[in-house]
Amino acid sequence: MNINSTIDAGNAGFRLNDPESVTEDLVLLREQVRRFVEREVVPVADAWEAQGKIPREMFLKLGEMGLLGMQHEEAHGGTQMGALASVVFGEELSRSTYGGFTSSVTVHTDMSASHITRVGTEEQKARWLPDMIAGRTVCCIGVTEAGAGSDVAGIRTKAVRDGDDWVINGTKMFITNAVYGDVVILGARTDAPETGSRGITLFIVPTDTPGFKVASKLEKHGWLCSDTAELVFEDMRVPHANLLGEENRGFHAIMRGFEQERLMIGAFCAGEGAKAIELTLDYVRTRRAFGKTLWDQQATRLRLADLASKVAMIRALTYQTAAAKDAGQPVSRETAMIKSVGPEILHEVVHGCLQLHGGTGYMRGTPIERMARDARILRIGGGATEVMLEEVAKRM
């Protein structure tokens, strides 16, 4: 791959060239998303952080631009552009510096609605996907429970067949888009607990289903503008027609979804990391100390060069893996590597950049302070670093 990373005191700053796998269409996509973020997100997203909510019209605007359908077939309104397009999309969203916005949008596009395209029936695709792709219906993924996070096989939410319905009881925790969303792709146990991963099934569940309850909207350390909730299901009846994929095969579908999720997290790390370095370069080139700018201090230059190199490495792995996925190659090991290494790199980058901002970086309202808080969840959510390293080890 042809990726160059430069830090040059006489240039615009930190630059990452696109790899050869990025076509002209993807370059245009990048420019379109970057313009949207600069125009529609950055000027107003502080208010979203305060409200703990992203306006619904943002999903509608993204839908009008055709940006919510890259994982979906053209027959249902998607563009079917593939993994590389999603990586470009996620990378540019993350450059907004608002991790909550990025997470809410990509949970909808790449981590929940995409399950319908992968394993849904034609009837389910025709019913649900057009509104999801248009942004009229916002989707979330309901897998995590208080006692089953990285250990998906430990799901305890239970679904029991009753005629043409399934009756579901249980809880879900830390669910993004659950407060203001419309549909949950829900994982529930449909066989005995001792069957482990072999007894889990996915369901499509509208949030207005009787028995569906948002128990609490959760207050978080970061990602403040994304809504996150604890859900409770009490004798919730879901039609058998809403069973998604094969009965008792939901674990395998969830694992396939995790590949895309981990790939997107790599995109987040690349985009946020690059933006953090850009912001820091702007700062250290003007901030003076001991008669010179911070950039003139060798320690500053070497630290930023080190951080920039690490961002370039995770970006290279992410793009290489996305290209392999689009080519139909197995990428489970590589996506686990991305998830285990990328968030650790981003954590180092944003905290290193905050350090170079000095006291300014510690103040609420500065992008680098927000990015440092937002980055922390990536080492936990979607599979903790330690669990991901085990996943890599299994495949060595």
Catalytic residues: 261
Strand runs labelled E in the chain: 5-6, 15-16, 139-142, 158-162, 165-176, 183-189, 200-206, 212-217, 228-239, 243-244, 288-289, 292-293
| Cα dihedral value 216, 220, 226, 227, nearest 10 | 0
Rounded CA separation 267/263 (Å) = 7
- Burial (CB count within 10 angstroms: exposed 0-12, middle 13-18, buried 19+), residue 312: buried
Supply φ then ψ for residue 79, to 5 degrees. -110, -15
List the structure tokens of 355: 């350090």
Buried b (16+ CB within 10 A) or exposed e, 383-393: bbbebbbebbe
C-beta of residue 325 within 8 angstroms of C-beta of residue 259: yes
C-beta of residue 271 within 8 angstroms of C-beta of residue 94: yes
Alpha carbons within 13 angstroms on the beta-carbon side of residue 225 total 25
Residue 136, strand partner residues: none
Rounded CA separation 24/377 (Å) = 33
Sign of CA dihedral 350, 371, 100, 67: negative
